[in-house]
Amino acid sequence: MTDIGGSHDHVARVDLDDERVRYEGIDEEDAKKYIGARGLGVKYVFEQGPDVDPLGPENLLAFMNGPLTGTQVTMSGRIAVCTKSPLTDTVTDSHHGGWSGARLKWAGFDGLLFEDEADEPVYAYVEDGEVELRDASHLWGKGVHETRNELESEVDGTYGQDLSMMAIGQAGENLVRYACIVNEDDRASGRGGTGAVMGAKNLKAIVVKASTDMPEPADQETFREGHRQAMQAIQESDVTGPNEGGLSLYGTNVLMNITEEMDALPTENSHYTSTHSEADISPEEPNIDAENVSGEEIRETIMVDEPTCHSCPVACKKEVEVDVHHKGEDMNVRMESFEYESAWALGPHSMNDDKGKVALMIDICNDVGMDTIEAGNALSTAMEADEEGLVDADVDWGDADRMIEMLEEIAHRENDVADTLAEGPAHAAEEWGDPGISMNVKGQSIPAYDPRTMKGMAIGYATSNRGACHLRAYTPAAEILGIPEKVDPQDPEGKGELCATFQDLHAISDSFDICKFNAFAEGIEEYVLQFNGMTGLDYSEEDLLEAGERIYNLERYYNNLAGFDGDDDDLPDRFVEGKEDAIPAQGANEGGLAELDQLKDEYYDVREWVDGVVPEEKLDELDIEIGPGTGVSGGDGAAAPSDD
């Protein structure tokens, strides 16, 4: 039990098999050590043990908010979904914005823990501190958008006022290993296959009805000062403030032209580092231009609205509406946000620059509930496999009409190629005889930053605890935006330390749970003031940073116990210095490759890990418990993978 501010000390443990709901408090020591949201959610998953089948009934699915969720803190509407990933077999946490996290807090909960699996499809209805399981058989087989509409008509509430929904589409039902969970505003817990875990549990949706009663800070004066400093920093920042070129104007897709210009945009399944590379791109096909799907182009041509998440002054979401001609049919597409990663994966990485059809593909992924980054990588992997004669996928580079068809086929596992791709691009490449054509780390595909040009991303991808990811350590903040200071993206020196620092910092923000865009303006001082003000605790900056380090090490330790070590902290050969199949960067960074060994040596030294494994001394230093009650057992020396 805990009386820490910002917490209701109220978690529902839902056994889907016997339809029993138990309510429990939060261990105060855990709350102090792991903060909430990501940190506490991962702790719950860790206690289940690392040997569970991700798609089996024993895997835990945790929906968690943090002590700052749903408060006056800017950008505090996020929620973390924590589980063991069916895509990577690592621990994973996947977050989405909007209003779901805030409304779960306002409904009286710190978290929902789903155990086992239901015999028939159900959805969870959450209101006033209670959870009720209801029949969802009539919703099974429907997309997220139709599910959203039907659920709103069934319950007493209105989206945008007192109601939120988190649901899966057909991809989650069919256990596509990169299926995601999507809320009523098309915000997605996108990465790691959380939607497939939900589908395996026959859990179609979670509906939350809530008031708008924000938690009161335990220390009003401290909180007020932290909030004042944070708001000032956000308004004055070139990135988050109301300026002429940042997130408020162009959304996340402000990065498309920037990464293109610095030759850091993976193109044609990462054969090239921009659509303007000096080498000819797909000489038998028309060349493309990333600018056609950039934030500037979208704002000028098809943007129609700029919705916001809870307590957000930035409004990075750019809603679009566009008429699309596909396979002889004219259709109108209106879709919630034209995001950078999605536009890249379904655009330049697949050699497509048709903004209308990119919008349609994003909308399809939102409806079937499928990670756009992984889906785009699946298509580009299939394109290269088809070109090399490894499989007949009937898809050419940039064939947007065929790409649209394939997304639906994958979500429904309609044929052999789609069924193979539904297991993940890494699996497909292995199955088709050339693992090197999948741009993945630990089974999860890369996002839109080229590690040959941005060395912080190289070590960030390699050491991410949930597979290739830009959000574990968003080093582009320093390499592109100069936050907290500008560093040379092509220089490997110091990138191991930079990566570890960002990983720990984002473990904190993910556990609060607040948007990472806060970190473009705020620093640890603002974090400490707002955290202490809300919770009533007295953390120093060092205390908070140690909590972030503890969370990251707990995740790494889980992965160690699941069988991962330094050999898995790797990159696709295409990116790595000394690899036979390496393809050097072109353009301004011609010849560039990732110096992976150097980067890993520095990173492990900073982390005090032994070949990617957390030693017992580090576990002791960070007060990470092993042994009885944790689902795992300890031993002498370094933490070894479990043999159980």
Q: 284 Cβ partners below 8 Å, 6+ apart? A: none
| Residue-level pLDDT at 285 | 61
| Residue-level pLDDT at 486 | 94
CA distances from 271 to 275, 402, 518, 585 (A): 10, 21, 34, 9
From CA 511, how far away is CA 111, in angstroms rounded?
12
String of DSSP letters for 233-298 = HHHH-TTTSS-SSSHHHHGGGGHHHHHHHTT---BTTTTBSSTT-SSPSSTTS----GGGGSHHHH
What integer is the mean pLDDT of 238-264?
92
What integer is the mean pLDDT of 6-23?
97
| Residue-level pLDDT at 629 | 45
What integer is the mean pLDDT of 173-198?
97
Residue 27 pLDDT greater than 70, yes or no: yes
% residues pLDDT > 90 (the chain)? 92
Residue 640 pLDDT greater than 80, yes or no: no
Residue 567 pLDDT greater than 90, yes or no: yes
| Residue-level pLDDT at 280 | 66
| Residue-level pLDDT at 644 | 36
| Residue-level pLDDT at 1 | 76
Provide the mean pLDDT of the chain. 95
What integer is the mean pLDDT of 482-500?
96
Residue 279 pLDDT greater than 80, yes or no: no
What integer is the mean pLDDT of 391-406?
97
Is the pTM higher than 0.85? The answer reads yes
From 335, 361, 339, 365, select the one nearest 350 (Cα to Cα): 361
pLDDT per position as a tens digit, 441-455: 999 999 999 999 999
| Residue-level pLDDT at 245 | 78
SS3 state at 575: helix
Q: Which domains does the chain have, with CATH numbers?
A: 11-209 (3.60.9.10), 263-441 (1.10.569.10), 455-520+540-621 (1.10.599.10)
Q: How confident is the model at residue 278 (pLDDT cuts 50, 70, 90)?
A: low
Lowest mean pLDDT among 461-465, 477-481, 547-551: 477-481
| Residue-level pLDDT at 286 | 57
Residue 636 pLDDT greater than 70, yes or no: no
Residue 642 pLDDT greater than 50, yes or no: no
Q: Are 512 and 36 in contact (CB under 8 A)?
A: yes
Residue 606 pLDDT greater than 80, yes or no: yes
| Residue-level pLDDT at 283 | 62
| Residue-level pLDDT at 619 | 97
Residue 628 pLDDT greater than 70, yes or no: no
Q: Are strands 203-209 and 122-127 parallel, antiparallel or unpaired?
A: parallel
pLDDT per position as a tens digit, 522-550: 999 999 999 999 999 999 999 999 999 99
From 536, 622, 618, select the one nearest 28 (Cα to Cα): 536
From CA 457, how far away is CA 480, in angstroms rounded?
11
